[in-house]
Structure 1
Amino acid sequence: MKMFPSIFATAAFLLAAATAHASSLPTYGARLEGFDYPHPVRTYAFTSQAQPLEMAYLDIAPATPNGRTVVLLHGKNFCAATWEAAIAALVDAGYRVVVPDQIGFCKSSKPPGYQYSFGQLAANTHALLASLGIERAVIVGHSMGGMLAARYALQYPAATERLVLVNPIGLEDWKAEGVPWRSVDAWHAREQKTSFDSIRDYQRTVYYGGEWKPAYERWVRMLGGMYAGEGREVVAWSQALTSDMVFSQPVVHELPQIAVPTTLFIGQKDRTAIGKDLASPEVAQRIGDYPVLGKRAAAAIPGATLVEFAELGHSPQVEDPARFNGALLDALQ
């Protein structure tokens, strides 16, 4: 009987700790209202697919311009703010830096009835740059943004000064590799289960080789806060639609057609592959092998340069900003 008070006290303590933890987690709006970006957020209003949309973006001018512009394209589980350290390094080096949130993501509109395609997102980005008077720029894309950047370079080669791909996904055709197709409804059901813990577990396992640093937590809270907020259904539906786009529109088959100078930055610990959870053990083991995929992509893109980061994973710009920024500036020069 003497054990009961201690058991009750322990249970009460654990419940209080869990409640305190839950209350400390942020909640953001469907357009990431409440999460602050490192620079003022601007809005590009335009019409696409017969509906008015707003594209949020950052446009940072250097104190001493070198006359060149760099466009940074975020990944699917990232936002413009994730480029914070790269923005600072590029601006210090004299580059004008433009960082959009794509339609369907972060602080931009999330239309429920939008036909998402990389061609459409590239066209939206090109229209944004035209509205800013930018005719030619370096296009840098990370993760899903790498797929978009490749599509942009294919679609607008004259407007692409240089292409930089940072651990891009889509370096393999997952469906052709044996990953089963999944409906938008199934993607949606999966997205509805997303939480702070599921985001963190996925990123630790797939992005960072099982390792975790406190600095990564900010980006988990950024993403998780949208799923935890009142706009969670809007966010989950947009993410389902864009997941289908990513799976269904590989760019890997067109890499040999890229006709602009290209640099690939590949963290070797990355194991990202869309739909791996549905794949057979044999297929799941084979796909997402970035040491192999990086070399294959560099060989496919005419004249491409490959930079490998042996101890880094999916997001080298987050894991080791100083090293990544130094390599990026070297590539641009």
Structure 2
Amino acid sequence: MHLSRSLCIASALAAVALPAFAVTKAPTYGPELQGFKYPYPVQHFSFQSQGKALQMGYMDVAAKGKPNGRSIVLMHGKNFCGATWEASIKSLSDAGYRVITPDQIGFCTSSKPDHYQYSFQQLAINTHQLLETLGIQKATVLGHSTGGMLATRYALLYPQQTEQLVMVNPIGLEDWKALGVPYRTVDQWYERELKMSAEGARKYQQSTYYGGRWKPEYDRWIDMLVGMNKGPGQKQVAWNSALIYDMIFTQPVYYEFKDLQVPTLLMIGTADTTAIGSDIASPAVKAKVGHYEVLGKQVSRQIPHSTLVEFPGLGHAPQMEEPAQFHKALLQGLSAL
């Protein structure tokens, strides 16, 4: 009798506790990431492009340490935002840099136009206009992932305004379409983006970005990405994302690495396996793409003034995986270039 009563009480408590856990909802954010907190104040640069009035969100963080008179521009990747540079902004600011961190058009806190001809040239021009408005005549340009392709294009377009180029696990170290990866149409990318889920995004990033590892602090970035995709601007966000994927796949910078004339620091987490479209490639094609431990060395040899820094065992985002190790290497690399 005593035991039965205890079991009933335990069951009742479980019944009370369970719904509170079950109703937990993933956050959602507006089409320009309204509701998501950035580590530093976000300002907006208003400009005209392709007949449209657009706004580009950015953070402008002054040097907190002894100013060295240098500016650095951080360019985010496809599944990232300016906010994901949080640790890097602090490290660089503490080291004396003025740090400019824009969200490109189509991403995060920036406009997502209904119709826009995306190109790396256009995004580079937009960024250059922002820097001119801020009075920055010359800067180090640091790009991660897709931002590495953009930073490369920026350095090619504006060599006199680029003090140094830094690429962190840039995609585009190979031309996937030339290697046999199938083409997805914009409509196919759009349908894929509409189906994005937190579980799917986490699974992809864990296996592709982080070598099967996961840290609790990465969950915030999944919430950011999926929360914007599942928010009230879902179709607008997904459509712009589809256009951007098409830009990435069809506009390789791979063939122009040899034309870079600025000092370049290439920073590679060797466990990265990112390759756009590899999920629909044949087993034979999939087996030959996305090998960063090989690609980093190959591309470093193509760039005339290049220094390669490798992070053995780290993945697509070494600045997020092992921030202390990464930032020590970055600051050393910047001072040596």
TM-score, normalising length from structure 2? 0.93
Q: Aligned-pair distance for 1:13?
A: 9.3
Residue 246 of structure 1: aligned partner: 248
The whole-number CA distance in structure 2 between the counterparts of 1:181 and 1:13 is 51
Match of 2:202 among 196, 200, 203: 200
Letter aligned with residue 310 of structure 1: P
What are the superposed Cα offsets for residues 240-285 of structure 1, whole Å, 9 maximum, x if unpaired? 0000000000000000000000010000110000000111001011
Q: Is the 8 A contact 2:105 2:111 kept in 1?
A: yes
Q: Secondary structure at the match of 1:286?
A: coil
The whole-number CA distance in structure 1 between the counterparts of 2:209 and 2:178 is 23
Q: Secondary structure at the match of 2:23?
A: helix
Could you list the structure 1 runs, at least 4 aligned residues long, displaced by more than 2 angstroms after superposition: 11-21
Residue 58 of structure 1: aligned partner: 59
Q: Aligned-pair distance for 1:26?
A: 0.6
Residue 44 of structure 2: aligned partner: 43
Structure 1 residue runs of 5 or longer lacking an equivalent are none
Letter aligned with residue 210 of structure 1: G
Residue 78 of structure 2: aligned partner: 76
The 5-angstrom pairing of residues 72-221 of structure 1 reads 72-221=74-223
What are the superposed Cα offsets for residues 161-202 of structure 1, whole Å, 9 maximum, x if unpaired? 000000000000000000111110001011011011111011
- Does structure 1 residue 279 correspond to structure 2 residue 281? yes
Q: Secondary structure at the match of 1:57?
A: strand
Identity %: 59
Q: Secondary structure at the match of 1:250?
A: coil
Q: Aligned-pair distance for 1:17?
A: 7.4
The whole-number CA distance in structure 1 between the counterparts of 2:21 and 2:67 is 50
- Does structure 1 residue 26 correspond to structure 2 residue 45? no
Residue 296 of structure 1: aligned partner: 298
Q: Secondary structure at the match of 1:45?
A: strand
The whole-number CA distance in structure 2 between the counterparts of 1:35 and 1:181 is 33
Q: Aligned-pair distance for 1:19?
A: 3.4
The whole-number CA distance in structure 1 between the counterparts of 2:123 and 2:242 is 16
The whole-number CA distance in structure 2 between the counterparts of 1:220 and 1:186 is 22
The whole-number CA distance in structure 2 between the counterparts of 1:321 and 1:305 is 20
Number of residue pairs aligned between Structure 1 and Structure 2: 324
Q: Aligned-pair distance for 1:303?
A: 2.4
Letter aligned with residue 296 of structure 1: Q
Residue 226 of structure 1: aligned partner: 228
Across the aligned residues of Structure 1 and Structure 2, the Cα RMSD in angstroms comes to 1.7
Q: Aligned-pair distance for 1:15?
A: 8.2
What are the superposed Cα offsets for residues 96-149 of structure 1, whole Å, 9 maximum, x if unpaired? 000000000000000010000000000000000000000100000000000000
Letter aligned with residue 19 of structure 1: A
Q: Is the 8 A contact 2:198 2:226 kept in 1?
A: yes
TM-score, normalising length from structure 1? 0.94
The 5-angstrom pairing of residues 310-329 of structure 1 reads 310-329=312-331
The whole-number CA distance in structure 1 between the counterparts of 2:293 and 2:163 is 27
The whole-number CA distance in structure 2 between the counterparts of 1:238 and 1:18 is 34
Q: Aligned-pair distance for 1:95?
A: 0.4
Residue 235 of structure 1: aligned partner: 237
Q: Secondary structure at the match of 2:30?
A: coil
Q: Aligned-pair distance for 1:227?
A: 1.5
| Bigger CA radius of gyration | 2
Q: Secondary structure at the match of 2:115?
A: coil
